[in-house]
Structure 1
Amino acid sequence: MRTGLDHFFSQYLELCKGKRVGLVTNMTGVNKGLTPTIDLFHNHPDIYVTALYGPEHGIRGSAKEGEKIDSFVDPYTNIPVFSLYGSTKKPTKEMLDPVDILFFDLQDIGARYYTFIYTMAYVMEACAEFGKQFVVLDRPNPINGTSIEGNLVGEDVRSFVGLYPLPNRHGMTVGEIALMYKHEFGINCEVTVIPMEGWERHMYYDETDLFWIPPSPNTTGMDMCILYPGTCLVEGTNLSEGRGTTRPFEYVGSPFIEGYKLAKRFNERQLPGVIARPISFVPTYQKHKDTVCEGVQLHVTDRKLIHSLATGLTLLETIADMYPNDFEFVQFGEKKTYMFDLLAGSKEVKTLVLNGETNRFLEEIKEQQEAFKKQREPYLLYK
């Protein structure tokens, strides 16, 4: 198969003719032979790259989650790099003055919490405001383009981990999302999507012939990506989601948990496609740093059967029931905002977790999923 980047060089090079080019990318922007998009553009005689733009984690992927990044000059190309995860997340007029056209080449992971798709939204807004062309070099959704899970983000909990009404697992590529932003959510910039060739909607990333490059430090592989639409919710609690271990979002635990008891209780629920194994781990940073935690590792036994969100909610519900005096949702900022609400896309889910009613929630939101499927249909490029 060929990504949008590979397809671009064979058929779409004319888009750059006589234009100053900006590139929104990071280390995942590579061709099939692993040559970076930055190098391919910078070294091409017909492409004049005047600016680079980096999302969360930076263009080289060295920054941790949430870590602010300053703008700088790339030492390899001497091209200015404007940070879109520092003093601003939306490009300013000054940031876009050096370019006529912006290319977006980032690997998403298929869950609505992942910030790259909102960096894309802000870039599109700025392109509309300042009259710049916008081009997406499309890449696969690593956890397939058919599975949809979760509720749509409510208006009262919109944030950079849920800026638009998308479900937890959206089943779209970044190019398809860009078209949806334009035609459904009113970001009226000039958009061109360079499609992939050879990708089919049922495919997981490891069913392609592409190399997997982690888009951020904790996106370790397919099991992590499959679980993430559910286990990312752990970030909004006082539990470790496994950051600072070799298995983030597969490990979940805390100093107050007894791993064997939790694994037994979780496995008694008999969720399809997943099994829990008791573990002990010590996070090297973030929550419970340098402290022994017990908990579980979630193992995907059948990716076609697992429901990631149900898995994450069931695990949290089980822990809340077993440790009611220890488990809690965490707050941040002066307004004491619950991170869990922003991730869950709803202020109601906390109570459902505490009351053991998440199954009812999963049933009730099926209507939202059906509505989303109809809404996204016109923008699907791979049918």
Structure 2
Amino acid sequence: MQRRRLLGSAIAGTALAATAAAVPAHAGGRRVKTGIEVLADDDFAELAGQRVGVISNPTGVLPDLSHEVDLMHESGKVDIVAVFGPEHGFRGVSQAGEGEDFFLDPKTGIPVYNAYNDKDRMAELLAEAGVETLVFDIQDVGARFYTYIWTMYLALEAAGQLGLRFVVLDRPNPGTGRAASGPVLHPEHATFVGLKPIAQRHGMTVGELARFFNHEFLPEPADLTVVKMSGWKRDMYFEDTGLPWIAPSPNMPTVATAIAYPGTCLFEASALSEGRGTTKPFELLGAPEIDHTWSEAVQGLPGARFREAYFTPTFSKWATKVCGGVELQVTDRRDFDPIRTGLAMIIEQRRLFPQYGWRSQDVTSFWLDKLTGNQAVRLAIEDGAEVDDLAPLWAEELDAFSEQRESYLLYRHTAQ
């Protein structure tokens, strides 16, 4: 590989008010209010007199860390008839690729249904529960293959078919909403890690995505309301909001994980461990037989540095085996391009340690194609492409998506 090309730059009232005072303000002296806070400030008027279903998980909290389902239930002002859990479940007890079986929530007595990855069942569940208004509130991380947005999509689709209201309580995109990046999904590669053609790093909030999905992809749009955040601007990272970080899933423990994830999640498509079963998933990457030469080869990528690392995953790929590899540390988020970085790391790993190839279901079904949304990226890498040869493969489609999404954005581009 030509080193200069790899190393080049990348382009509820009083109680709530008391709670808010205890949460650190961001650098501008303000704190973002999420959609659930705005809803509670208005005494839940948006949901009054309706049979409400809630799609949420452990991230559906207020600044005092109380959960919105508990708060709405205890208020007596919201008739919650059902809760629907996404991947990992409503209370967050399941690992990747798993939901929760039906149960009665022991704290509230509300029935909880598994809404993970079942297109044909969503409308049936909503009808069975007698839902009139469906509320969605889950912290997303901004990557197309993070499945919560596709649970939202299926729920929107079902709501449109059944004539239900759909209310999104908006939350920040932790990696900012500045711009979309990466390849756009091709329909033939649609799976539950990407059902519709959006960019790999979409740069939108869930409320904005709901608007986009509802009008661009659904033949029967739902009656959609987005309860906007107060105080969020597109250039904010999560720490700027003053909000508490709750791990959106078991392998997303920190904001740093979420920043790296849109790129290093691509290692799920390889034989390497992506760090599941360690304390730093998506930041620790490696496999047995990998040594210091990989970390040396990727030094100098913009906005990042790499430590030679050794680790033993407790589960998932290479469980109980000592792995060599790298620890990725982001040093400058504005210079860091997670997708370019992840692809550059893959190219170098395959050059140095070709014995660790692609993960596939069969010879025609590669996980990388599902994650990038096309086969062109994989084929180019196999053909010896440099990292800077890859972005032109999706540039035209990304430009079109970026223009398409513009009318659905709800927040200003810079903080003032």
Select 1:176's aligned residue among 202, 208, 211.
208
- Could you tell me which residue of structure 1 aligns to residue 10 of structure 2? none
- Could you tell me which residue of structure 2 aligns to residue 226 of structure 1? 259
Distance 1:339 1:15 in 2: 42
Q: CA deviation at 1:130?
A: 1.2
Deviations 1:43-73 (A, max 9, x none): 1222111100000000111100012421111
| Aligned-pair Cα RMSD in Å | 1.6
Q: CA deviation at 1:88?
A: 5.7
Select 2:217's aligned residue among 185, 189, 199.
185
Letter aligned with residue 206 of structure 2: V
Mapping of 1:172-251 within 5 angstroms? 172-186=204-218, 188-251=221-284
- Could you tell me which residue of structure 2 aligns to residue 141 of structure 1? 173
Letter aligned with residue 338 of structure 1: F
Distance 1:121 1:39 in 2: 25
- Could you tell me which residue of structure 2 aligns to residue 157 of structure 1? 189
**Is residue 338 from structure 1 mapped to residue 369 from structure 2 by the alignment?**
no
Q: Does the CA-based 8 Å contact 2:123-2:162 persist in structure 1?
A: no
Q: CA deviation at 1:364?
A: 3.4
Q: CA deviation at 1:371?
A: 1.5
Distance 1:221 1:95 in 2: 33
Deviations 1:157-193 (A, max 9, x none): 0111111111111110000000001111125111000
Letter aligned with residue 337 of structure 2: H
**Is residue 349 from structure 1 mapped to residue 377 from structure 2 by the alignment?**
yes
Distance 1:356 1:272 in 2: 22
Deviations 1:182-209 (A, max 9, x none): 1111251110000000011000101111
- Could you tell me which residue of structure 2 aligns to residue 17 of structure 1? 48
Distance 2:120 2:280 in 1: 29
Secondary structure of 2:183's counterpart equals coil
Q: Does the CA-based 8 Å contact 1:159-1:342 persist in structure 2?
A: yes
Mapping of 1:361-372 within 5 angstroms? 361-372=390-401
Q: CA deviation at 1:214?
A: 0.4
Distance 1:297 1:283 in 2: 14
Q: Which moved more, 1:345-354 or 1:232-241?
A: 345-354
Deviations 1:212-259 (A, max 9, x none): 00000010212211111111110011000000000000011000211x
Distance 1:175 1:90 in 2: 23
Q: Does the CA-based 8 Å contact 2:117-2:151 persist in structure 1?
A: no
Distance 1:223 1:314 in 2: 19
Q: CA deviation at 1:336?
A: 5.9
Q: Which moved more, 1:83-92 or 1:174-183?
A: 83-92
Runs of 4+ in structure 1 off by over 6 angstroms are none
Distance 2:263 2:120 in 1: 26
Q: Relative to 1, partners in 2 of residues 1:204 and 1:195: Cα closer, same or farther, differing over 3 Å?
A: same
- Could you tell me which residue of structure 1 aligns to residue 92 of structure 2? 61
Higher relative contact order, structure no. (Cα contacts within 8 Å, ≥ 6 residues apart): 2
Select 1:117's aligned residue among 145, 149, 159.
149
Distance 2:197 2:322 in 1: 38
Select 1:272's aligned residue among 290, 293, 302.
302
Q: Does the CA-based 8 Å contact 1:127-1:189 persist in structure 2?
A: yes
Secondary structure of 1:375's counterpart equals helix
Letter aligned with residue 119 of structure 1: T
Secondary structure of 1:365's counterpart equals helix
Letter aligned with residue 397 of structure 2: Q
Secondary structure of 1:92's counterpart equals helix
Letter aligned with residue 198 of structure 2: L
- Could you tell me which residue of structure 1 aligns to residue 287 of structure 2? 254
Distance 1:336 1:356 in 2: 20
Select 1:289's aligned residue among 314, 319, 322.
319
Deviations 1:13-66 (A, max 9, x none): 232222111110011001122110111111122211110000000011110001
Distance 1:127 1:115 in 2: 18
Distance 2:201 2:76 in 1: 40
Q: Does the CA-based 8 Å contact 1:23-1:49 persist in structure 2?
A: yes
Q: Relative to 1, partners in 2 of residues 1:303 and 1:86: Cα closer, same or farther, differing over 3 Å?
A: closer
**Is residue 303 from structure 1 mapped to residue 336 from structure 2 by the alignment?**
no
Letter aligned with residue 202 of structure 2: H
Distance 2:134 2:164 in 1: 7
Q: Does the CA-based 8 Å contact 1:90-1:123 persist in structure 2?
A: no
Secondary structure of 2:407's counterpart equals helix
Q: Does the CA-based 8 Å contact 1:142-1:204 persist in structure 2?
A: yes
Letter aligned with residue 165 of structure 1: P
Secondary structure of 2:201's counterpart equals coil
Secondary structure of 2:349's counterpart equals helix
Secondary structure of 1:59's counterpart equals coil
Q: CA deviation at 1:338?
A: 1.5
Provide the TM-score with structure 2 as the length reference: 0.88
Letter aligned with residue 403 of structure 2: K
Provide the TM-score with structure 1 as the length reference: 0.95
Distance 2:267 2:310 in 1: 17
Gaps of 5+ in 1: none
Secondary structure of 2:305's counterpart equals strand
Letter aligned with residue 201 of structure 2: R
Number of residue pairs the alignment of both structures matches: 378
Letter aligned with residue 62 of structure 1: V
**Is residue 29 from structure 1 mapped to residue 60 from structure 2 by the alignment?**
yes
- Could you tell me which residue of structure 1 aligns to residue 26 of structure 2? none
**Is residue 45 from structure 1 mapped to residue 73 from structure 2 by the alignment?**
no
Distance 2:125 2:320 in 1: 43
